[in-house]
Structure 1
Amino acid sequence: MRDVIVIGAGAGGPVVAKELAARGLDILLLEAGPRHDQPREQWTHFENDANNPLTGFFRLGPADRSKPAWYREWPQNSFVWQLSGIGGTTQHFYGNYPRAYPGVFNDYSGADAGNYDRAHQFPFGYAEMVPYFEWVEATAPVMTAAMGTKEEVFFRGCESLGLPVQTTKTTREPSYRPQENAILQPGGNAGRTTDTNLLQYPRATGCTMCGFCFQGCMEPVNAPRNQFAKRSTDNSYVPMALTADVWAEHGKPVELIADAYVTQIHAEDRGGTLTATGVTWRDNATGHKRREDAQVVVMAGGCTENPRLWFNSGLPNPNDWVGRGYTDHFFDWLIGVMDHDTGSSKGPGSSARLDFPGYGGLENVGLPPALQAFSATLSDSGIRGEYDNGRGQPGTWDGPAGRLIGPELKDLLLNGVNRLLNVLVITDDDVEADNRVTLSSFPADENGPVARVQFQHRQRTMRTIRNREFMANKAAELLRGTGAKSVYRIDWAPLILHVQSSMRMGESPDNSVLDATAESRAVKRLFIADNSALPNAVGGPNPSLTTQALATRTAEKIFQRYFDGDPWVHSEAPTVSTDPRISVRLGELGL
């Protein structure tokens, strides 16, 4: 009998595992995908090697890449960008860690309160969340992003909008700033040279400005795993979980099993209360199944996989909200073409942002060539100059919105990615019940019926559409302010990277799956600790910090409720994930 079983080693699961292991609990952490324990031998910087959804090392699939990827059905024009493996989507994220806006919490009473989704608030106040934000910011650690040419150009556009520079971690007014991100700042030779012989640990530390964030971070060369620059959980929380007996006084190392697909959560009636008792997981390599029992089960498989597992386990869904409220940030994408260098492909992928609380935000995003081409072709407006499906109306950008193809796309890329400036539009979306995950009628795979992601793109609420149009026009104004000679709006179809709320916590049992502690209302001792637990779109900021802060809070609630423990976040400082004792132990373990 385990104390806690955690399902999923992406953004949230390792946080719960690390925190509870540090308090001496027996934790089993199961991950459906592979464990990349030697990235320099298993990864490359080539975009197709990493990101091909069928064959890439970041695909959604088992460790054995000769086997097919796992299929998910999405009936609309969209791309659900799921990853498997230790670290989950944090393996390819850009490490952006802004805090959720205060307006999405239930104690917010600002003059702009009506600009938020008041029907789906956090079921507690912002002040209660701040210590958990601070805990994660200290642990990861979160730092002010390294700056380069593309950030300088982006800020020039921000200045043209007449907005102030933000100097606090909490966003309360329209403003711009360097990102707060979970990437170690350049040290030593890093950021000062492109000579690969000089960019090796310990002569170089932190971000080496290589520009390959989306292909996974393995820099600097020869660095211990917990000193890799980007603080994806495979570089931060997972190493801490595996070595909790070294750095924590009462710690016990987590048992981590990869390539282990959980196919069922077990529950039984205990005195009239349905209670989680354990899981069955399948070894992807052998096909063998094994049952494990625990006092508490934590689901952290993601917004698509958690509902799928819930349904496949036959767990109750009394209010029909399991899988509903599947929200993204209604992304859009604008590209400015410059007649000067922007350094767009260099350095951290996204180191600058602009926020409009109540609407959303804008981020500069740098990309290598193949992803830059992809970004210009994912549209819901048709093809520029060829056909329009009713969405690509002209605006403050050049001509109608839509895909760039043929000579137009060729000219864009021949201009060079380092003469482009990309702006990602991130909106604050309403939680919509018709956006949901169900089980597909397509054939089941070896792990059971597969997920169907039903996602409304055109039928959004008026507030969500207003937010997107407002932010897209601000992005175009910003790019004009940088001196862009052309500005293209792509009008992205749903690109499911920032997704949340499919197992949402909430104030009302009528429209939420979880209570205010992230415990299931229908099944006791079953918790959720990833983006799917978020009650809303957090106002538009990237969700990773908020997810990990909430997961820290959830771990503390589990420890108090079921293991008679004391709270810790308000009483002690966390150990930073770059602790040298962790490096030594990882070396002893051959990691």
Structure 2
Amino acid sequence: MNGADDNQGSRELGEIIEILRAAVDTMIPADEWPGGWDGGVQRLIAEHGNGFLSRLRPLLTKACEALDLAAISTHSAGFAAVSDEEKREILDQVSGQPETTEAVEAIATLAFQGFYAGTSAPAGWEMLGFNPGPTAVSGEKYDEGTPLNRIAADYDVIIVGAGAGGGVVAAELADKGAHVLLIERARPMRASELRSNHLQGKRMQAYDTTAGPGAGNPRLLELSDGSVMTLPGEGDGGEYGLNAMTLGGGTRLWQGMSWRFYEEDFAMASTYGKPEGSTLADWPVSYRDLAPFYDRVEWELGVSGDAASDMARRTPRSRPYPMPALPGDEVRTILSASASTLGWKSSPVPFAINSIPRAGRPACAACGQCVGHACPVNAKNGTQNTFIPRALATGRCDLLMSAQATAVLHNGCGVATGVRVVVTTAEETQERVIRGRQIVVTAGAVETARLLLASGLGNEWVGRNHHTHGIATATALTGPRFEPRRGPGHSVASVDWVHRDRKAWGGGVIVDAPAMYPYTQAVLGRTAGHRWGLEHKRWMREIGAPLGTMSMVQEIPDSSSRVSIDPKVVDRNGMPVARLRGDAHPATREAVDFMVDRCVEWLEASSGRDIIRNVLYTAPQGAEHSAGTARMADDPALGATSAEGLLYGTRNVFVADASLHPTNGGFNPGLTVMANAMRVASTIH
């Protein structure tokens, strides 16, 4: 917003502030704890200003005017002046009118986000006993990258994207003696910037996103009715795709669940058949091909787990995990016992988190906010603190940050010559062309496809086969309760429904649901009928942390799902934006519906009752597990790249991220992305 808009926004806010405060404190009234206004909303407005309010302000103004009008018409006094009981009656009345329901919900959004999420340590955190842990690493070191004036004119290898795949490839090739440039779009960020309030964390990203692309970086989503929706680069991270744009990519903010795919995951079409309307295919490599790279990544990244568990035994390995599993908790005890009554096996979750001090970094501190946030003690392992430092330590790898690759340059005959990058600093924006003998694209499934398409590279499979995971969740509103849980937030898993009896298209792993952040719990309460008022606050305090389960379900890629580039819309650097569309294949819906029943079954066996079930069949806009847009195949008629990641139609352009995955397994794919990137790097000379 410009200055004039900001000033106007302040005048409008000032005119309704008394009404707004009264409404917020009616929704979250004071008891032994502060009301919503003093408990966080006032500070949220002060900290985020009109940039935050610009999205809610028209609705807030409409709601406050409607509340005031209703109060005057029935009580001859403004809303802020009537009694508390009258305020509640008016709120119920106005919120029940179709023309003002959405506007009143905007006040509720403001109230609940401010009290439970929107500032550092809002009152709702203390009320629920939520402890996020340290806000930053003491004495933290972070890499600002190589200054632009020290970037060479040419390199042996240029890698676009310093996430899971790019970080591994950089380390492998620098170790082999190549002169490497690793390009990262994000600016340098301290851990403290990635551990603040929950509304700026990767899981919420409601306002002023920290690890998102920022303003001027939209995507377009084609909806089933033919309309097109703009997904802004700032704002709701779930809407945009839950991307993490920072050094290390998703591995800096992930929860670190590190599973190997099963043998059947590499042969889905052979195992289950190809359903009509899908693009289901086998991988051109097998589990046996990837096993030695899984082993290396587990040890070089650092994974804690139980090699004797049923889960580990189903993926043949040459040695155990480098660290024992993270300690158990009450949730693991309860769900393990109930799994036994069902005849299921269960085991600890393997995590890329130090369970013991390792590699000069401490063990997990079990902070209250793991997933979506940087680790406060640097115990969470990602490429930013393992593979990338290893690459830089060789002296043969440069790291260029705040740099967006807008094109891979080539001679039109399949030979890439370099990349065009736009480097943005606080002082200026510069465009540079950097030459490279080999180009490796590791920007994530959406951005990799976008870059290749914008560069005019690849065959008709580039951008096709886009898929993520189906998600099934179940939450028991009645049953076992816990104190606010500590990190990492998951504890126990069952793999009994992964490729079991050829049911549910491979199904997926079931784990305990992630530990709920206070705002997530508040939204659950409103969904369950605890709308607002003192009753809501009592419910929040009494329910504790509810028991939940969730499944990461194998998605059957649909032929309609793809990433393309828009012919007209460009981002702030003039690059065509990604255009996404897609639907969930009926086979995916079948699998998700089957697995949500298993999630409920596990809860019921654990004495869970009043169960809320929720399903997500696909994420056409992209998600943190996006895959498949440059899939591997032995034949260019069946995929975009060879088994070695070489882009068909080129001699020296490789892909080494989740874009290569023909299918994405029934697990979090991070470990597989890194293992496969290591395998691809072994073929690049």
Q: TM-score range by the shorter chain?
A: 0.7 to 0.9
**Partner residue, 1:476:** 600
**Contact 1:438/1:452, CA 8 A, preserved across alignment:** yes
Q: What's the CA shift string for 1:344-388, capped at 9, x where partnerless? A: 6312122322222221121223234356249859xxxxx97xxxx
Q: What's the CA shift string for 1:183-230, capped at 9, x where partnerless? A: 000569xxxxxxxxxxxx99x92101113112423332xxxxxxx211
State the alpha-carbon separation in 1 of the partners of residues 669 and 371 from structure 2. 17
Q: 2:264 aligns with which of 76, 92, 103?
A: 103
- Please say if 1:365 is aligned against 2:492: no
Matches within 5 A, 1:22-33: 22-33=175-186
**Partner residue, 1:178:** 348
State the alpha-carbon separation in 2 of the partners of residues 290 and 354 from structure 1. 50
- Please say if 1:281 is aligned against 2:448: no
**Partner residue, 1:439:** 565
**Partner residue, 1:158:** 339
Comparing both structures, which one devotes a greater share of its residues to helix? 2
**Contact 1:149/1:344, CA 8 A, preserved across alignment:** no
Q: What's the CA shift string for 1:245-267, capped at 9, x where partnerless? A: 3xxxxxx3421111100001011
**Partner residue, 1:239:** 389
State the alpha-carbon separation in 2 of the partners of residues 546 and 254 from structure 1. 24
State the alpha-carbon separation in 2 of the partners of residues 293 and 412 from structure 1. 63
State the alpha-carbon separation in 1 of the partners of residues 165 and 336 from structure 2. 32
Q: 1:325 aligns with which of 465, 472, 476?
A: 465
Q: 1:49 aligns with which of 200, 221, 226?
A: 200
**Contact 1:332/1:492, CA 8 A, preserved across alignment:** yes
State the alpha-carbon separation in 2 of the partners of residues 413 and 360 from structure 1. 33
Q: In 2 relative to 1, CA 423–107 (structure 1 residues): closer, same or farther, beyond 3 Å? A: closer
State the alpha-carbon separation in 2 of the partners of residues 277 and 349 from structure 1. 45
Q: Which moved more, 1:51-60 or 1:543-552?
A: 51-60
SS at match of 1:406: coil
**Contact 1:366/1:421, CA 8 A, preserved across alignment:** no
**Contact 2:553/2:592, CA 8 A, preserved across alignment:** yes
Matches within 5 A, 1:339-354: 339-343=479-483, 345-354=485-494
Amino acid at match of 1:406: R
Matches within 5 A, 1:108-257: 119-144=280-305, 145-146=325-326, 147-164=328-345, 176-186=346-356, 205-220=362-377, 228-243=378-393, 245=394, 252-257=395-400
Tell me the CA shift for residue 72 of structure 1: 1.6
State the alpha-carbon separation in 2 of the partners of residues 290 and 257 from structure 1. 12
**Contact 2:155/2:437, CA 8 A, preserved across alignment:** yes
Amino acid at match of 1:2: Y
Q: In 2 relative to 1, CA 546–419 (structure 1 residues): closer, same or farther, beyond 3 Å? A: same
**Contact 1:45/1:215, CA 8 A, preserved across alignment:** no
Q: In 2 relative to 1, CA 102–405 (structure 1 residues): closer, same or farther, beyond 3 Å? A: farther
Tell me the CA shift for residue 485 of structure 1: 2.6
**Partner residue, 2:72:** none
State the alpha-carbon separation in 1 of the partners of residues 295 and 333 from structure 2. 28
**Partner residue, 1:427:** 553
Q: In 2 relative to 1, CA 512–299 (structure 1 residues): closer, same or farther, beyond 3 Å? A: same
Tell me the CA shift for residue 553 of structure 1: 0.3
Higher relative contact order (CA 8 A, sep 6+): 1
State the alpha-carbon separation in 1 of the partners of residues 163 and 543 from structure 2. 31
Higher Rg of the two aligned structures:
2
State the alpha-carbon separation in 2 of the partners of residues 504 and 316 from structure 1. 11
**Contact 1:94/1:348, CA 8 A, preserved across alignment:** yes
Q: 1:406 aligns with which of 505, 520, 531?
A: 531
SS at match of 1:281: strand
State the alpha-carbon separation in 2 of the partners of residues 90 and 131 from structure 1. 21
**Partner residue, 1:168:** none
**Contact 2:268/2:280, CA 8 A, preserved across alignment:** no
SS at match of 1:440: strand
Amino acid at match of 2:531: G
State the alpha-carbon separation in 1 of the partners of residues 445 and 242 from structure 2. 12
**Contact 1:71/1:450, CA 8 A, preserved across alignment:** yes
Matches within 5 A, 1:79-98: 79=239, 80-98=241-259
Q: In 2 relative to 1, CA 426–215 (structure 1 residues): closer, same or farther, beyond 3 Å? A: closer
SS at match of 2:429: coil
- Please say if 1:9 is aligned against 2:162: yes
**Contact 2:199/2:207, CA 8 A, preserved across alignment:** no
Q: Which moved more, 1:3-12 or 1:84-93?
A: 84-93
**Partner residue, 2:648:** 521
State the alpha-carbon separation in 2 of the partners of residues 119 and 101 from structure 1. 17
Q: In 2 relative to 1, CA 416–553 (structure 1 residues): closer, same or farther, beyond 3 Å? A: farther
**Structure 1: tracts of 5 or more residues without a match:** 62-67, 165-175, 189-200, 221-227, 246-251, 378-382, 385-402, 563-591
- Please say if 1:259 is aligned against 2:412: no
State the alpha-carbon separation in 2 of the partners of residues 265 and 481 from structure 1. 54
State the alpha-carbon separation in 2 of the partners of residues 9 and 53 from structure 1. 25
Instruction: Give the aligned CA root-mean-square deviation in angstroms.
Output: 3.0
> TM (normalized to structure 2)?
0.65
SS at match of 2:576: coil
Matches within 5 A, 1:367-382: 367-370=515-518, 372-373=520-521, 376=524
**Partner residue, 2:576:** 449
State the alpha-carbon separation in 2 of the partners of residues 441 and 118 from structure 1. 25
SS at match of 2:221: coil
**Partner residue, 2:122:** none
Matches within 5 A, 1:62-73: 68=215, 70-73=217-220
SS at match of 2:547: strand
Number of aligned residues: 479
**Contact 1:120/1:431, CA 8 A, preserved across alignment:** no
